[in-house]
Structure 1
Amino acid sequence: MLIRQSYIDQITPFIDMPLVKILTGVRRCGKSTIMLMLMDELKKRGISENRIVRFNFDTLEWQNTDVKQVFEIIKDKLVPSERTYLFLDEIQEIEHWERLVNTFMEEAEYNVDIFVTGSNSKMMSSEISTYLTGRYISFRIHPLSFAEYLVFRKEYGELADLSKEFLRYIEYGGFPAVHLKPLTLDEAYVIVKDIYNTTIFTDIVKRNQIRKVDQLERIVKFAFDNIGNTFSANSIKGFLESQNRKIDIETVYNYLSKLEGAYILNRCSRQDLQGREILKTQEKFYLADNAFKHAVLGYKQDDISQTLENIVYLELRRRGYDVYVGKLDTKEIDFVAEKQGKSIYVQVAYLLADKKTQEREFGNLLQIEDNFPKFVVSMDDVDMSHKGITHLNIKGFLLNSW
Structure 2
Amino acid sequence: MNFPRILKKRKGYIERIKPFMRKSVAKVLTGQRRVGKSFLLYQLIEEILGEEPNANIIYINLEDFEFSSLQTAQDLHSYIISQSQKKDKNYIFIDEIQDIPGFEKVIRSLLLNEDNDIYITGSNANMLSGELATYLSGRYIEFKIYSLSYLEFLEFHGLTDNEKSYELYSRYGGLPYLLNLPLEDETVNEYLKSVYSTIVFRDVVSRYKLRNTLFLEKLIQFLSENIGNLFSAKNISDYLKSQHATVSVNQIQNYTEYLSNAFLIHRVERYDLIGKRVFEIGERRDTPLFNTPVLNGVACSSNSIDHLLRCRLHGSNKNLCSVQSRS
Structure 1 length as normaliser, TM-score? 0.75
- Contact 2:125–2:261 (Cα < 8 Å) also in 1: yes
Partner residue of 1:112? Answer: 116
Partner residue of 1:172? Answer: 172
5+ residue gaps, structure 2, are: 1-6
Partner residue of 1:88? Answer: 94
CA distance, structure 1, for counterparts of residue 28 and residue 250 of structure 2: 30
Q: Is 1:123 paired with 2:132?
A: no
1:288, distance to aligned residue in structure 2 (A):
3.4
Q: CA 1:72/1:325 → structure 2, altered by over 3 Å: closer, same or farther? A: same
Q: CA 1:118/1:43 → structure 2, altered by over 3 Å: closer, same or farther? A: same
CA RMSD of aligned residues (A): 2.1
AA partner of residue 124 (structure 1): L
Partner residue of 1:313? Answer: 310
**Alignment equivalent of 1:133, drawn from 133, 137, 143:** 137
AA partner of residue 148 (structure 1): E
- Aligned pairs (5 A) from 1:163-242: 163-242=163-242
Please say which of residues 79-88 and 312-321 is displaced more in the overlay.
312-321
CA distance, structure 1, for counterparts of residue 204 and residue 233 of structure 2: 19
CA distance, structure 2, for counterparts of residue 169 and residue 239 of structure 1: 35
Q: CA 1:296/1:73 → structure 2, altered by over 3 Å: closer, same or farther? A: same
Please say which of residues 71-80 and 22-31 is displaced more in the overlay.
71-80
The Cα offsets for residues 303-327 of structure 1, whole Å up to 9 and x where unpaired, read as 332x222211111122221100113
- Contact 1:270–1:324 (Cα < 8 Å) also in 2: yes
- Contact 2:224–2:295 (Cα < 8 Å) also in 1: no
CA distance, structure 1, for counterparts of residue 95 and residue 296 of structure 2: 28
The Cα offsets for residues 220-263 of structure 1, whole Å up to 9 and x where unpaired, read as 11111111110010122134334432101110010000000001
Q: CA 1:281/1:250 → structure 2, altered by over 3 Å: closer, same or farther? A: closer
1:269, distance to aligned residue in structure 2 (A):
1.1
The Cα offsets for residues 131-168 of structure 1, whole Å up to 9 and x where unpaired, read as 101000000000010000001110xxxx3651110011
- Contact 1:26–1:142 (Cα < 8 Å) also in 2: yes
CA distance, structure 2, for counterparts of residue 69 and residue 96 of structure 1: 11
Partner residue of 1:371? Answer: none
The Cα offsets for residues 51-80 of structure 1, whole Å up to 9 and x where unpaired, read as 111100123442771111111111111122
Q: SS at the partner of 2:323?
A: strand
CA distance, structure 2, for counterparts of residue 139 and residue 151 of structure 1: 22
Partner residue of 2:58? Answer: 53
Count the aligned residue pairs: 319
Q: Is 1:149 paired with 2:146?
A: no
**Alignment equivalent of 2:82, drawn from 76, 83, 86:** 76
**Alignment equivalent of 2:13, drawn from 1, 7, 12:** 7
CA distance, structure 2, for counterparts of residue 124 and residue 153 of structure 1: 33
Partner residue of 1:326? Answer: 323
AA partner of residue 7 (structure 1): Y
Q: SS at the partner of 1:53?
A: strand
The Cα offsets for residues 170-225 of structure 1, whole Å up to 9 and x where unpaired, read as 10011111232323112111111111111111111111111111111111111111
Q: SS at the partner of 1:138?
A: strand
Q: SS at the partner of 1:272?
A: coil
